[in-house]
Chain A
């Protein structure tokens, strides 16, 4: 028996790290973009499909696009006998039967496929409806994926499923998942297969409230996690206090700093422009690696 099994090496290098926060604007994109850049060879996945912005920093090249569709029912009214099994089945009330015709409200359909299964006359078949797209490009050695949900669509989950499905861990690569804000279904889908979660928090009472939401979420998912305190100022930090009270690992402290603000506002990647931030994010990356290794060994 070897001292360290092979898979452990692979696990450590092959990490999927999700970056999340209870609200928008805390610094998820800042942290995930800079970690991906600090790791050099890595994959960055923007799962914030309602407002993806990581690509603004990476400015990826050779961008390929793929449309994302969901399946919705298509009715053949000649075959429909008006039994209404589909109408009664649909929990989203996306179907109505009026004057010997079935009407489908496409935007209410959640693509469960139940109506098609239940139709005894085979009057319902599947058709595709486009809800958004994903883009894949490269920026130096970072592969950049961006999910884009079309305006007005109810759920970006099919896009996130596709984004993460495409990105099964490859050898010697870090994957950074830039999550949507909040703690709802769309975030759960984004962190579901993550090996580690980084929670980004602001030093305000509001920040603590939102940190608590994602803290409860990652506990529910039994994910190993730690906190990055962003926008740190001198004086009391309610988010830090929260971490100390709950015994949560603080991974890094990013200062509330003019230099960083200017770099970020100009859509520049801080680790590429500033030695100070190269150090901060290299250090964070190392801390996260150690944390994952620790989790792996203590759970094996």
Chain B
């Protein structure tokens, strides 16, 4: 199973980023093969619709689940269309969250926020 996590740095010692859509990188982790891929998040600098673009990246990399502290409603809609489950991270470290996920200790993220709009401009 492939899981995606927004991360601060491109290594396994990194912390989970506080934001999904605006995270600098994504980790795609394969729980069977232990393979790790770090992706640049091209959505991070978007003026608007970053969640949609970030979610598209997760979809395109064929993740089955996203582990994130928070997620906006448009990103959630894209992920839902792709049947990608969203789990809430409970630790700062990426590793701890992966372990918790494998141990089935992470719960589904049910607080989907309405996004941080208003900086979009006219």
Residues in A lying within 8 Å of B, measured CB to CB? 87, 90-99, 101, 103, 105, 108, 154-155, 157, 184-186
Given known A92-B48, A93-B46, A108-B48, contact A98–B78 (CB-CB < 8 A): yes
**Measured between C-beta atoms, what is the minimum distance from B21 to chain A in Å?**
9
CB neighbours of A154 from chain B (8 A): 120, 122
CB neighbours of B78 from chain A (8 A): 96, 98, 103
- Sample 28 A-B pairs with CB under 8 A, ordered by A number: A87-B56, A91-B47, A92-B47, A92-B48, A92-B49, A93-B43, A93-B46, A93-B48, A93-B52, A93-B53, A96-B52, A96-B53, A96-B56, A96-B81, A98-B56, A99-B81, A99-B82, A99-B83, A101-B81, A103-B77, A105-B49, A108-B52, A108-B74, A154-B120, A154-B122, A184-B122, A185-B121, A185-B122
Q: Assess the A94–B52 pair: CB atoms within 8 A.
A: yes
Q: Assess the B122–A98 pair: CB atoms within 8 A.
A: no
CB neighbours of B52 from chain A (8 A): 93-96, 105, 108
Question: For the complex, what is the distance from the CA of A92 to the CA of B53, rounded to whole Å?
Answer: 9
Residues in B lying within 8 Å of A, measured CB to CB? 43, 46-50, 52-53, 55-56, 59, 74, 77-78, 81-83, 120-122
Question: For the complex, what is the distance from the CA of A108 to the CA of B47, rounded to whole Å?
Answer: 11
Given known A105-B49, A108-B48, A108-B49, contact A96–B121 (CB-CB < 8 A): no
Question: For the complex, what is the distance from the CA of A95 to the CA of B81, rounded to whole Å?
Answer: 13
Question: For the complex, what is the distance from the CA of A97 to the CA of B81, rounded to whole Å?
Answer: 10
CB-nearest residue of chain A relative to B49?
A93
- Which of B49, B81, B120, B121: most chain A CB closer than 10 A? B49
- Which of B50, B55, B81: most chain A CB closer than 10 A? B81
Question: For the complex, what is the distance from the CA of A92 to the CA of B48, rounded to whole Å?
Answer: 6
CB neighbours of B46 from chain A (8 A): 93
Given known A101-B81, A103-B77, A103-B78, contact A96–B120 (CB-CB < 8 A): no
Q: Assess the A98–B47 pair: CB atoms within 8 A.
A: no
CB neighbours of B47 from chain A (8 A): 91-92
**Measured between C-beta atoms, what is the minimum distance from A61 to chain B in Å?**
33
The 9 closest A-B pairs by CB, nearest first: A93-B49, A185-B122, A93-B53, A98-B81, A155-B122, A93-B52, A98-B82, A96-B78, A108-B49
**Measured between C-beta atoms, what is the minimum distance from B59 to chain A in Å?**
5
Question: For the complex, what is the distance from the CA of A92 to the CA of B119, rounded to whole Å?
Answer: 12
CB neighbours of B121 from chain A (8 A): 184-185
Question: For the complex, what is the distance from the CA of A255 to the CA of B2, rounded to whole Å?
Answer: 70
Q: Assess the B59–A98 pair: CB atoms within 8 A.
A: yes
Question: For the complex, what is the distance from the CA of A105 to the CA of B55, rounded to whole Å?
Answer: 13
**Measured between C-beta atoms, what is the minimum distance from A91 to chain B in Å?**
8
Question: For the complex, what is the distance from the CA of A257 to the CA of B82, rounded to whole Å?
Answer: 63
Q: Assess the A105–B74 pair: CB atoms within 8 A.
A: yes
**Measured between C-beta atoms, what is the minimum distance from B69 to chain A in Å?**
21
Question: For the complex, what is the distance from the CA of A91 to the CA of B43, rounded to whole Å?
Answer: 10
**Measured between C-beta atoms, what is the minimum distance from B109 to chain A in Å?**
19
CB-nearest residue of chain B relative to A90?
B49
CB neighbours of A101 from chain B (8 A): 81
